[in-house]
């Protein structure tokens, strides 16, 4: 038994960011901790589209209604991402949030710096988060 209790809020099973599949090492699940766990929770929060999860259809990002809707002001889109990131356990505040729209490729690139319970999280240290319809 460890001397100090384990903070389970900063531990998660690793998911491969390119596939979303459970990450395995020699057939065993891999745990992520600290900033890596919070970064993964941020990715999950931004990847969940509203109504995608059948147990709770009101959960998730309003991608169709707001983010990908024609004519939505950039500040409204930014506000949606800001709310989602600030709702992630362990995220205290956002220092920066940049959303870059590429109309030709029809994508949004989301980059941020967050103050977390585990230190400063730079999204640029992880695989980029890109929204594609």
Digitized pLDDT (tens) for each residue of the chain, 133 residues in all? 445 544 545 567 777 777 777 787 888 888 888 999 999 999 989 988 886 777 777 788 898 888 888 889 999 999 999 999 999 999 999 999 999 988 888 888 999 999 999 999 999 999 888 887 7
The pLDDT of residue 110 is: 94
Contacts 24+ apart (CB under 8 A), 126-130: 126/17, 126/39, 126/43, 127/17, 127/18, 127/43, 129/42, 129/43, 129/46, 129/47
Query: Which tokens hold the place of 34?
Result: 């600290």
The pLDDT of residue 10 is: 59
Look at the alpha carbons of 123, 114, 49, 133 in this order and tell me if their dihedral is positive or negative.
Answer: negative
In the CATH hierarchy, which fold is given to the domain comprising 8-131? Nuclear Transport Factor 2; Chain: A, (3.10.450)
Of 61, 44, 85, 64, the closest CA to residue 133 belongs to: 64
d(CA 110, CA 97) in angstroms, rounded, equals 7
The pLDDT of residue 58 is: 72
The pLDDT of residue 55 is: 78
SS3 label, residue 113: strand
Query: In the chain, what are the domain boundaries?
Result: 8-131
């Amino acid at each position: 038994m460890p001397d100090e209790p384990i903070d389970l809020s900063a531990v998660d099973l690793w998911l491969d960011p390119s596939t979303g599949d459970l990450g395995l090492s020699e057939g065993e699940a891999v745990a992520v901790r600290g900033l890596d766990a919070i970064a993964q929770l941020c990715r999950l929060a931004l990847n969940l589209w509203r109504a995608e999860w059948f147990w709770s259809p009101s959960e998730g990002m309003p991608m169709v209604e707001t983010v990908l809707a024609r004519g939505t002001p950039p500040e409204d889109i930014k506000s949606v991402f800001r709310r989602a990131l600030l709702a992630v356990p362990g995220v205290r505040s956002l220092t920066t949030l940049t959303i870059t729209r590429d109309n030709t490729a029809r994508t949004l690139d989301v980059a941020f710096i967050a103050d977390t319970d585990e230190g400063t999280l730079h999204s640029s240290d992880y695989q980029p988060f890109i929204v594609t319809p």
